[in-house]
Amino acid sequence: MKLFENKRLLIIGALVILLGISIYEKGINVLLIAAVAVASSLVVELLAAKARKEKYDFTSYFITPLVFSLIITTNVASHVWMVAVGVIFGLFFAKSLFGGQDKNIFNPEALGLIFVILSFPAYVLNQGTGNAMGEFFVYTTLGLALILMLLKAISPYTLISYLASLFLMYGLMHLINGSYLSINEMLFNTHIIFVGVFMVTEKSSGPKHNISQVIYGFALGLLVWLINNESSNAEFASVYAVILGNALAPLIDSFVETYILKLNKADEELKEVTTWKTH
């Protein structure tokens, strides 16, 4: 348990660094949004832990509100109650109902954001892509991602395959047809990198096996490209892709367990039998 707590603390530290950059670039509204998001998260998490009679784990209460704050447009600061609604909805329906920390099958941030987008589209859509954008932000996010992977706080299998899929699709398709977004446009004008580091790599709502995580990352990259280029509501393409990916994660694990891991096990058993017969 201590190991998981330390990993969450590393992720929280990375998010706080990005929050500081966003406050510097976007202004005090980012701090207001973050404060409301964190307060809302604490209320839901503490009540849920008390209802389940679990020990309070404050390291698990900050990731969702910080991610939510960094991805939603700062224009909602004038209707900051929307932030509370989104965080509470996401945590309750994606996490609390499934038993709490590490038991959720959907990403709470993604579910909460989609609820806000569907409920209040006039305030959220076509208002800019929030804070998770810009060269300095993206480069810092990638640097933090490298540190988090080296410290084993996030899965390198998921993130690297996700990024490889994105670079392949955006680079190749832009080369074929210049009307598609380029790699630079994808990097600096969307949420895609931030979502990949802090949402796609979430362990509880993603696949469990290393091979599954590679497949999952490639699949999510493809989904992001499709939604981002073909949908009329492409602004939050990566968020929609995360929810779809969460639904596919158990199927990917099942496929890997049935057709890959069991085949490998059968090969090992055959090798053992052959070795025994030779002696």
Rounded CA-CA distance 215/158 in Å is: 8
Identify the pLDDT of residue 123: 84
Percentage, residues of the chain above pLDDT 90: 51
- Residue 199 identity: M
Identify the pLDDT of residue 2: 54
Report the predicted TM-score, pTM, of the whole model to 2 decimal places.
0.87
Q: For the chain, what is the mean pLDDT?
A: 86
Rounded CA-CA distance 102/242 in Å is: 16
Quickly state the pLDDT bin for 144 (edges 50, 70, 90): very high
Question: What sign does the dihedral 163-168-169-174 (CA atoms) show?
Answer: positive
- Residue 171 identity: G
Quickly state the pLDDT bin for 125 (edges 50, 70, 90): confident
Per this entry, what is the length of the chain? 279
User: Which tens digit of pLDDT belongs to each residue from 162-177?
Assistant: 999 999 999 998 899 8
Identify the pLDDT of residue 114: 93
Identify the pLDDT of residue 56: 73
Quickly state the pLDDT bin for 141 (edges 50, 70, 90): very high
Rounded CA-CA distance 46/49 in Å is: 5
User: Which tens digit of pLDDT belongs to each residue from 50-62?
Assistant: 887 777 778 888 9
| Residue 95 scores a pLDDT above 50 | yes
User: Which tens digit of pLDDT belongs to each residue from 37-47?
Assistant: 999 999 999 89
Quickly state the pLDDT bin for 223 (edges 50, 70, 90): very high
User: Which tens digit of pLDDT belongs to each residue from 179-208?
Assistant: 888 888 888 878 889 999 999 999 888 999
| Residue 274 scores a pLDDT above 50 | no
Identify the pLDDT of residue 275: 45
Identify the pLDDT of residue 263: 58
DSSP letters of 234-279?
-TTHHHHHHHHHHHHHHHHHHHHIIIIIHHHHHHHHHHHHHHHHH-
Contact 21, 136 (CB under 8 A): yes
Report in angstroms the alpha-carbon separations of 229 from 68, 72, 91, 177. Answer: 23, 20, 30, 12
Identify the pLDDT of residue 126: 67
The mean pLDDT value for 233-243 works out to 86
| Residue 159 scores a pLDDT above 60 | yes
| Residue 235 scores a pLDDT above 50 | yes
DSSP 8-state assignment for residue 177: -
Contact 219, 163 (CB under 8 A): no
More confident residue, 82 or 262: 82
Identify the pLDDT of residue 272: 44
Identify the pLDDT of residue 273: 43
List, in order, residues 6 or more apart from 70 with CB less than 8 Å away: 15, 18, 19, 22, 130, 131, 132, 194
DSSP letters of the chain?
-HHHHHHHHHHHHHHHHHHHHHHHHH-HHHHHHHHHHHHHHHHHHHHHHHHHTPPP-GGGSSHHHHHHHHHS-GGGGGGTHHHHHHHHHHHHHHTGGGTSTT--SS-HHHHHHHHHHHH-HHHHTTS--TTS-SHHHHHHHHHHHHHHHHTTSS-HHHHHHHHHHHHHHHHHHHHH-TTSPPHHHHHHSSSHHHHIIIIIT-STTS-SSHHHHHHHHHHHHHHHHHHHHH-S--TTHHHHHHHHHHHHHHHHHHHHIIIIIHHHHHHHHHHHHHHHHH-
Helix (H, G, I), strand (E, B) or coil at 132: coil
The mean pLDDT value for 83-99 works out to 90
**Tokens 């059968």 found at:** 266
Identify the pLDDT of residue 247: 92
